[in-house]
Amino acid sequence: MATYEEKSSYCKDCDKKVLKKRKGTNHLLHLILSFLTAGIWIIVWILTAIKFGGWYCSICGSKKVS
């Protein structure tokens, strides 16, 4: 199950105010996996929390949002 963060923003391609989105981190899942793997999973958790990819427009998918 993917989680997403959303914020109001302006898209330069759509030329209007839109919701910008980015993939979020399911912290509860990562906490459980960290316990099950005796802490080894924390490395993966940190890498997913960095949020590679960044924000994009929820309408057109453009990365040109501010």
pTM above 0.75, yes or no: no
3-59 per-position pLDDT tens digit: 788 999 999 999 999 999 988 888 899 999 999 999 999 999 998 888 777 899 999
Give the number of domains in the chain. Answer: 1
Q: Is residue 37 part of a domain?
A: yes
Cβ 6 vs Cβ 23: under 8 Å: no
Q: Is residue 31 part of a domain?
A: yes
Can you tell me which residue has the tokens 């993939």?
Answer: 23
Q: Three-class SS of residue 8?
A: strand
Q: Is residue 47 part of a domain?
A: yes
How many whole angstroms separate alpha carbon 20 and alpha carbon 4?
10
How many whole angstroms separate alpha carbon 12 and alpha carbon 64?
6
Q: Cα dist. 10→4, 6, 23, 31, 57 in Å?
A: 18, 13, 18, 34, 8
